[in-house]
Amino acid sequence: MIEIAPHIVVDPKIRFGKPVIKGTRVPVHIIIAKLAGGMTQKEIGEEYDVTLDDIKAALAYAAKMIEQQEVRVFA
């Protein structure tokens, strides 16, 4: 298991190596998708047994990944 960001780890044995919340099997993309779908942080915390800090870490990780992404437009 490798911690790739605070609260975020990857392990090939857990969720096929997708980034998950440390100490859980909850993928980061699920946290982001649930927030985008309108769930509150409290609801996510209760449903997935994660903390507010875990949710903030998932958002920070997602923002970092998007920032590093390069988009090329061909017209």
User: Which tokens go with 2?
Assistant: 């490798």
Checking if the pLDDT of 75 tops 90, the result is: no
Beta strands in 1-75 (DSSP E): 2-5, 8-10, 20-21
* pTM score, whole prediction: 0.89
Q: How many domains would you assign to the chain?
A: 1
User: Which tokens go with 48?
Assistant: 């997935």
Is residue 75 one of the residues assigned to a domain? no
From residue 27, alpha-carbon distances to 9, 22, 32, 71, 74 in Å are 9, 10, 9, 24, 33
User: Can you give the CATH number for the domain in which 30 is found?
Assistant: 1.10.10.10
Query: pLDDT value at position 40?
Result: 98
pLDDT digits (tens, 9 = 90+) for 13-63: 999 999 999 999 999 999 999 999 999 999 999 999 999 999 999 999 999
